[in-house]
Structure 1
Amino acid sequence: MSLIDRPIVQKTNLSFVIFIASAAALGGFLFGFDTAVINGAVKSVETAFSMNSVMTGIAVSSALLGSALGAFIAGTIADRYGRTRTMVIASILFTLSAIGSGIAFGVWDFIFWRALGGIAVGMASVIAPAYIAEVAPAELRGRLGSLQQMAIVVGIFVALLCDYFIAVAAGSASNLFWFNIPAWRWMFWTEVPPAVLYGIAALMIPESPRYLVAKRREAEASIVLAKAIGGNVEAKIAEIKQTVATERPARFSDLLSRRGGLLPIVWVGIGLSILQQFVGINVIFYYSSVLWQAVGFSEKDSLTITVITSIVNIVTTLIAIATVDKFGRKPLLLLGSIGMTLMLGTLTVIFANAAINPATGNPQLVGNQGLIALIAANLYVVCFGFSWGPIVWVLLGEIFNNQIRAAALSVAASIQWLANFAISTSFPPLLQNFGLGSAYGLYTISSAISIFFVWFLVKETKGKELEHM
């Protein structure tokens, strides 16, 4: 190969890898869109179906239980039928959920449709990082793996933007919109186009080379690897075959150590998943419009603040993509943990000492309290956005060896969704019975714990091949 030819080949390879990784990450976009689209509709759904705070928490979080199930079964489906077919299945479930949530007649069928979408979210949360990790060159894997989180935060942003424009155009999410249908129902239907696009994209990208080798389709795997990484494809195929030869279909018993109990690395994955949720990030994205209304902002202003917060999240995720392969995973996690602890601690102090509005019973921020709370909340999102948001997904795609990756990812992702469910379901009762200060106090404690967890238990994976994990 001449020096003149080499840059052209590298450019072609990079374009191909970015294309297939981006297509897979569309699942992350729908992940973010599906979980955040309910933000602008919470109050209207609550009113439409006459729900109390507990039922509101269950309705909002029902998708998360579905996500836990979807994450649990995704590894088995992906190993049996392939990564791209699993994406197509998830696309169909996303589409059905979006349509069903918008036509729901009562709280229980609404919960069903949200849970169905949750299954799709769970599947996408497992399959996207696994697929990207399996097709990306080692030197690009961190940045490409971060595309999953980038897609998630863009999905959150677009969902909140749709909520905002629909609510503003209709005057309120509860008002009638096009064809005399309540605006909140249109919020859910905006998910249909990207859900269909995800399925189309999944049909256009190649299957994972590791899956193809496992199915003895080496010729197809060679074509994919030649386009993706170039170089000595035969050597790479031989390396994958060597690891596959010692493998058998993954079983959850593989996650157990000889002494009984889960392998230490599985516990690390579970710990990362739990802490990512226990720092309370999804309270910001599921309930932020309710949260800011609770402290005196109007519905329109609350949605505006929520959109701004999601933009901040996108910018910081871009920072993570640019730095994850340069600085490594562990330093970014540590820096993010320290920043989140400080910002959540600030919010805890502010809300714990806020005056109570006698008319509404909600905390009322006076003077500079509102401004400080807004700054602290957005700096908290910044700290999460460049660290625990994208880096956890990168690590979950990397830290497990080939033998246990699918099963371990399924377990870790399932636990993550259960932790998300616990945090999201508990927030409305916490807000109503104990106040925002207590809620943010719990999230502050989790952020502080995450500092020590990363320092002592998380190992750096930057630049390592998956076969060497």
Structure 2
Amino acid sequence: MTIHNKPVMPKASTSYVLMLALVAAIGGFLFGFDTAVINGAVAALGKDFQAGSVATGFAVSSALLGSAVGAFFAGQLADRYGRVKTMIVAAIMFFISAVGSGIAFNIWDFMVWRLVGGVAVGAASVIAPAYIAEVSPAHLRGRLGSLQQLAIVTGIFIALLCDYFIAVAAGSAEAPFWFGVPAWRWMFWTEIPAAIAYAVGALRIPESPRYLVAQGREAEAASVLAKVLGGDVQAKVQEIRQTVLRERKPQLSDLVGRHGLLSIVWIGIGLSVLQQLVGINVIFYYSSVLWQAVGFSEKDSLWITVITSVTNIVTTLVAIAFVDKFGRKPLLILGSLGMTLTLGTLATTFGSAPLDAAGNPSLTGNSGIIALLAANLYVFCFGFSWGPVVWVMLGEMFNNRIRGAALSLAAAAQWIANFAVSTSFPPLKDVGLGFAYGLYTTAAAISLFFVLLLIKETKGKELEEMV
């Protein structure tokens, strides 16, 4: 009797998939770190460079212009040269920006270094969700995709924590720190280790199987898929080939239909823009200045920003736990409702507060506590919904043919919206904080109807099912 041994099929390795997602998410960590680290340095660099409020505001948001550029071109570069190579280039740019921002001689070259970092942030905002979506099994994709947002908010937290301890140790952000160098410069240099870790990590992970198939490297793609999915992956390779190679390589022109941009691209842009118009980054770029303006000390203001970033991390963990269980759309709806209520509370509190001699609202007694609670509840509502879920959806809502180009356009729109919100906050603050938060409340209300009317659930669908 002849015994025929069946070939042993490789088993899926969840730990391997997690490792790939974590390395890609270091880009998200640097994204959060780079955009938030300036929070503790805003006032100090303005004084050091004798810059006016307009120049200082532009210095804060100049990185966002670079982010729009990086996001716009990252998808094309990733489709041409690979996701991993694009990650390595981004890591190098993070490193250059961190060093340069700390040695800047005036406000103008500081803006240039921040612009370089912004390009890296924009690239990371596109590559990480795309790569994670492309290496994740469908049943894990929501949770693994949420790692991008967890990495972003962790980066924000670590940056603000570094700002706090450096400022406290030196006495203030303006005071000399190690080797007599002003403390605010050291704040930027704390980004260097993470940039190096990102480059080293990217060198050790494989390319996305969907990119490999597009390049005709199907044996390599099968090897990666075997570790990710387990079992016989040839059918999966064939399925990817049919969707990826159906037409020519992805181009921005693929996003245009008979009547302009494809509707799914507009929806992606809408998600991206609304994520910013609700004003979340005002909290993370200007919160220390904001809380000082309403009566808190520099030390207490920095500590409040740290507490807020911890809230953001905790709620992102909530999203990771439930995004594949409840789905994307329910979380977005709940988040929109919560943000509308909490932002409305902030608008009312700031708008009705008496003004001090400098024209800033004076929060005394219960009004200060109400504002702090509302701000942190707002971050909570954003953190379990629009923060992580938008990144998950942008990574999975587009089909394989247009994903790179569509993600780039949506992410570029997000950074332009971020820039608009960040640069407009200082003049809006002069008009009145109640008015500024009233605008963010309106955007949150619009986001609710946007989701109800236009968003389709993507939970549990394979990327090859997206049309």
Residue 131 (structure 2) aligns with: 131
Structure 2 equivalent of residue 264 of structure 1:
263
Residue 361 of structure 1 deviates from its aligned partner by 2.3
CA deviation profile, 1:394-434 (whole Å, cap 9, x unmatched): 000111111111110000000000000000001111112x1
- Name the structure 1 match of 2:436: 439
Query: Partner letter of residue 277 of structure 1?
Result: Q
Q: Distance in 1 between matches of 2:81 and 2:381?
A: 38
**Structure 1: which amino acid aligns with 2:265?**
V
Residue aligning to 2:272: 273
How is 1:312-391 mapped onto 2 (pairs within 5 angstroms)? 312-358=311-357, 360-391=358-389
Letter in 2 for 1:341: T
CA distance in 2, matches of 1:52, 1:36: 21
Q: Does 1:30 align with 2:30?
A: yes
Higher deviation after alignment, 246-255 or 268-277: 246-255
Match of 2:460 among 451, 458, 463: 463
Shift of the alpha carbon at 1:244? 2.3
For 2:243 and 2:406, locate their aligned partners in 1 and report how far apart those are by CA, in whole Å. 17
**In structure 1, what is the Cα distance between the partners aligned to 2:247 and 2:123?**
23
2:49 is the alignment partner of 1:55: no
CA shift for structure 1 position 9: 4.1
Q: What letter matches 2:286 in structure 1? A: Y
Letter in 2 for 1:191: E
Deviation at 1:231, TM superposition (A): 2.0
Structure-1 separation of matches of 2:245 and 2:175: 61
- Contact 1:56/1:428, CA 8 A, preserved across alignment: no
Question: 2: distance between equivalents of 1:263 and 1:243?
Answer: 18
Aligned-pair RMSD on alpha carbons?
1.1
Q: What letter is aligned with 2:416?
A: L
Distance, in Å, in 2 between the alignment partners of 1:244 and 1:386 is: 32
Q: Aligned residue for 1:218?
A: 218
Match of 2:3 in 1: none
Provide the residue aligned with 1:289 in structure 2: 288
Q: CA deviation at 1:35?
A: 0.0
Report whether the alignment pairs 1:239 with 2:239.
yes
1:86-165 pair list within 5 angstroms:
86-165=86-165
Q: Secondary structure at the match of 2:400?
A: coil
1:116-157 superposed Cα distances (whole Å, 9 cap, x missing partner): 000000000000000000000000000000000000000000
Deviations 1:363-391 (A, max 9, x none): 11011000000000000000000000000
Aligned to 1:401: 399
- Distance in structure 2 (CA, Å) of the matches to 1:344 and 1:243: 43
| Contact 1:213 1:237 (C-alpha < 8 Å) held by counterparts | yes
Aligned partner letter, 2:359: G
2:168 counterpart residue number: 168
In the TM superposition, residue 198 of structure 1 has moved relative to its aligned partner by 0.2
**Alignment-mate amino acid for residue 452 of structure 2:** W
Decide whether the 8 Å contact of 2:11 with 2:231 is kept in 1: no
Deviations 1:241-260 (A, max 9, x none): 1112313111111111113x
| Residue type of the alignment partner of 2:164 | Y
**Residue 57 of structure 1 aligns to which amino acid in structure 2?**
G
Query: What is the CA–CA distance in structure 2 between the aligned matches of 1:390 and 1:447, rounded to whole Å?
Result: 16
Task: Indicate yes or no: 2:304 matched with 1:305.
Answer: yes
Match of 2:209 in 1: 209
> SS at 2:203's partner residue?
helix
Q: Following the alignment from structure 2 to structure 1, what is the Cα–Cα distance between the partners of residues 197 and 182?
A: 26
Is this contact kept in 2: 1:53–1:429, CA < 8 A?
Answer: no
Secondary structure in structure 2 of the residue aligned to 1:356: coil
Q: C-alpha separation between the residues in 1 aligned to 2:36 and 2:247?
A: 39
Aligned counterpart, 2:5: none
Deviations 1:200-257 (A, max 9, x none): 0000111000011111111111110011111221111111111123131111111111
Amino acid across the alignment from 2:189: W
CA distance in 2, matches of 1:9, 1:86: 30
C-alpha distance in structure 1 between counterparts of 2:242 and 2:397, whole Å: 19
Distance of 2:66 and 2:330 partners within structure 1 = 33
Counterpart residue number, 1:230: 230
> Which whole-Å CA distance do the structure 2 matches of 1:217 and 1:93 have between them?
29
* Cα separation, 1, equivalents of 2:327 and 2:133: 16
Aligned to 1:425: 423
Post-superposition Cα deviations, 1:251-285, rounded to whole Å, max 9, x if no partner, equal 111111113x1111010000000100000000000
The residue type equivalent to 2:36 in the other structure is A
Give the TM-score of the pair, scaled to structure 1: 0.97
Runs of 4+ deviating beyond 3 Å: none
The alignment-based identity, stated in percent, is 71
For the residues of structure 1 that align with 2:360 and 2:350, how far apart are their CA atoms?
10
The one-letter code matched in structure 2 to 1:294 is A
- The residue correspondences of 1:78-89 to structure 2 (distance < 5 A) are 78-89=78-89
1:136-190, Cα deviation, whole Å (9 max, x unpaired): 0000000000000000000000000000000000000000000000000000000
Aligned-partner residue type, residue 215 of structure 1: Q
Letter in 1 for 2:394: L
